[in-house]
Amino acid sequence: MSVLVGKKAPSFESVAVVNGGEFVEKFSLEQYIGKKHVVFFFYPLDFTFVCPTELLAFQEKLQEFEKRNVAVVGCSIDSKFSHWAWLNTEKNKGGIKGVKYPIVSDLSKTIAANYDVLAGEWIYNEDGTLEFDGTPQAYRGLFLIDKQGIVRHQVVNDFPLGRSIDEALRMVDALQFNEENGEVCPADWHKGDEGMKETSDSVASYLSKH
C-alpha cells in the first residue's frame, strides 16, 4: 500500500454524477486547486450494505464540510448509470437518494489503482492468460487533499469496516488549524483546543496542563 501523504494527489479525468443526477463527463479534482480542500473517498460498490451508510453519513455532515470550504467527492468502480440509479433509489429500498456531492465512476479501475486502494491487481497466470488476482473493487480509502493538491492525510479500511465521518472532519479541522496558526495538533485534538508550537517548552507546557 502506497503512502501518498506529502505527495501530489494522482490526477484523473472521468465521468461523475453530481447534484444527485447530473452527468459531468470530464470531472477532475484539478478544479479545486487553489480554491478548496478536498475529502476524496473510495467505497467498494453501489447497492451494497455498508456503503450507503457511509455515503448518507457524508451527506448528513455535508454542510459541516462546506462551512470549512471543503469539497467531498466519492468514487467507486461502478458505471455512471449505476451511480445514477443508486442516487435515484429511495433510502428504504437501499438507495442513497438525497446525496448531492459528486460521485466519480472509475469503471476502468485506474483511479483506484493510482491511489493504490484497488484490492488486487492484473496478472498473467501460468497459461499466459490475463486475470485479476484479488477483488476488483476499491478498499474504503480516504484522502484529505489541500489547496495545493497535496495529500495531507490518508486512511484505508478493509471492506467490512465503515469509516468515521467525524474523524474526517476532525482531520480537516486539524489541517486548517495548522495552516492558519502554524501550530501542531496533539493527540485527540479537536476544534477549539489549544495547539502546540514545535518547541520543547511548548510541549512541556502542554503536557503539564493535561
Phi, psi of 81 (to 5 degrees): -70, -35
- Whether 185 is catalytic is no
One DSSP character per residue, 131-162 reads: EEEEEEEE-EEEEEE-TTSBEEEEEEE-TT-P
Q: Are 37 and 176 in contact (CB under 8 A)?
A: yes
CA atoms within a 13 Å half-sphere pointing along the CA-CB vector of 133: 8
Catalytic residue among 4, 29, 51, 99: 51
The sign of the dihedral angle between the CA atoms of 165, 50, 141, 62 is negative
Amino acid at residue number 186: P
Q: Which residues are designated catalytic? A: 51
